[in-house]
Amino acid sequence: MQLIERLRPGGWSYRVKVPLLMAAISAATALAVSVAIAVSARHWLREDLKDHAAAVAESLSRGLVVHMARDDVWEAFEAVRAVAVGDEGAPRCEVVVLDRQQRVFVSSQPMRLPIRAPADALDAPLQRAAALAVRPGDISVGEARTDEGTFSIVAAPLLSADKEVVGTLLMSWSHAVFAGRYRETLATLAAIAGTLVVVLLPLGWWLGHRVARPVARVTEALYRMGEDAAARATAYSGAARPAAQPHAVNEMDRLEHALSELQRQLDEKDMLQRQFVAADRLAAIGRMTAGVAHEINNPLAGMLAALSNLRKDPSLSTSTLALIERGLGQIRQTLSALLIETRSAHRELSPVDLDDLRILVAPQAERKSVQLAWHCAIDQELPLPAAPVRQVVLNLLLNALQAASRHVAFDAALDGERLQLSVVNDGREFPADRQARPFEPVGGEGNGLGLWASHQLVMSMGGAIVLAVENGRTRFDVELPLHPLPPTAAATARHEATA
């Protein structure tokens, strides 16, 4: 099946198709010109023969009238033979002179057509010539196709000075006479056409190859550009011709230039996206800082109070030390969650990462008196990059906390080979005008860039993020495939998701 597909010319590469086409056109042109010349040569040979035959008949008939009037068989025969027989005795044509009784007065081949033979003894071409003589006083020229071949035939009435018919001159010229000449012409033509084909075929192939090469190069580059970012970085820059000029007249040069420009813009966009995502990460951290600072400040205040009490009453040491220990433990927990957040180490997602996030956003929920319902059914490391997942979840949680009035719910669960995450809040609904395209970056409210960055990250992991608004609840569902797909498939998935 695949073989058939490959053999179908429509599926061929331009690298082959264009040179083949050029070569075929060259050969076809040479052939067509040769055929045209051959056909017209044949035509003109025929026309020449007709004209010649008519001219000979006219001059011959003048003398024949005199010879017939004098009943001079020999002179008539000599005149006829002079026309009909070539230098080496080879017959040029057949000539018959009929008398008034339609009997042979003389013929160029007396062995076959003797004197006084009846007209119906004539062979086929001459019979046809006899049938031609319908217009009196005029030389009739025609063509006869018989079993022996094609003949130009002539009939001329022999008229005396006072227009009395004394006989009829019939001639037939076999086209075999010029067949030899025609064969020579054909041979010459074939030689010329063959030479042309030999010269034009490689030339056509080479030209076609030259034309198709840039197309193939651009196609290859475009194909690679779609594969993934890493390949894209070198997709066209390597293949681009340094001579590609923005104002070049050649379409291929301009296309190549536009392509390299597109490549450059895509690279820029990529870099910008990466910068945005990084900036968003820092922004998310900034948004937590107030809560985190509070989380550190509270135990610190407790611990300072405990220390002051201890100074006043050293007997309280046991309980005070326990309090200070708890406070330091809380600070350490908070700080370690924060440290992991800023660290960009590549590692797999673990349940601790999600717990960290809970710790990080908890102070904010507390401050806003929002109930944070946390359901995490993950108890093992998952083959997912930890950093982007954390960033996505943190973004969604912070947004939810900001928008929530009473409740925020977080769910994490495994669904076969996919990690399902959802963040729900009951606050004011997601703006209606943005619901259709919720992940487009917007200025102002602060969650604009966050959602866009989350979307980018989810896409880069081959996952999907969906917004659902229902009954006053805003819900984001994130679905991430566990086993990272191969880069090509990932790219395809990404394209489909963006489309």
Q: Contact positions toward other proteins, by CB under 8 A? A: 71-75, 77-79, 81-82, 106, 109-111, 114-116
Nearer to other proteins, 70 or 347 (CB): 70
Least separation in angstroms between residue 112's CB and other proteins is: 8
Residue 71 vs 220, nearer CB to other proteins: 71
Residue 110 neighbours by CB under 8 Å, 6+ apart:
77
Q: What are phi and psi of 174, to 5 degrees?
A: -70, 135
Toward other proteins, which CB reaches closer, 33 or 66? 66
| Shortest separation between residue 58's beta carbon and other proteins, angstroms | 18
Minimum CB separation from other proteins for residue 154, in Å? 21
282 alpha carbon, distance to own chain's centre: 45
- Distance from the Cα of residue 78 to its chain's centroid: 78
Q: Which amino acid is at 84?
A: A
Q: Which is nearer to other proteins, 3 or 111 (CB)?
A: 111
Check: CB of residue 354 under 8 Å from CB of residue 393: yes
- 63/441 with CB nearer other proteins: 63
Cβ–Cβ < 8 Å for 6, 17: no
Q: Cβ neighbours of residue 488 under 8 Å, at least 6 residues apart?
A: 227, 228
**Min dist. Cβ of residue 31 to other proteins (A):** 48
Instruction: List the one residue out of 427, 401, 499, 422 whose CA is nearest residue 468.
Output: 422
Which of residues 75 and 411 has its CB atom nearest to other proteins in the complex? 75
Q: CA-to-CA distance for 274 and 494, rounded, in angstroms?
A: 16
Residue 151 CB, shortest distance to other proteins, in Å, is 22
Q: Which is nearer to other proteins, 74 or 286 (CB)?
A: 74
Sign, CA torsion 298/304/308/310: positive
Residue 182 beta carbon to other proteins: minimum distance, rounded to whole angstroms = 30
C-alpha dihedral sign at 64, 69, 72, 73: positive
Distance separating alpha carbons of residues 268 and 287, to the nearest angstrom:
28
Closer to other proteins at the Cβ: 88 or 415?
Answer: 88
Q: Which is nearer to other proteins, 114 or 487 (CB)?
A: 114
Q: Which is nearer to other proteins, 109 or 140 (CB)?
A: 109
Q: Which is nearest to 353 in space by CA: 338, 331, 375?
A: 338
Least distance in Å: CB of 73 to other proteins?
4
Of the candidates 400, 348, 343, the one whose C-alpha atom is nearest the C-alpha of residue 370 is 400
What is the β-pairing status of strands 371-376 and 407-415? parallel
Toward other proteins, which CB reaches closer, 77 or 236? 77
CB of 42 to other proteins, least distance (A): 34
**Minimum distance, C-beta of residue 54 to other proteins, in the bound complex (Å):** 22
CB nearer other proteins, residue 91 or residue 142:
91
**Shortest Å, Cβ 107 to other proteins:** 9
Q: What is the smallest separation between the CB atom of 102 and other proteins, expressed in angstroms? A: 16
Neighbours of 235 (CB within 10 A): 25
Contact 381, 349 (CB under 8 A): yes
- What is the smallest separation between the CB atom of 88 and other proteins, expressed in angstroms? 12
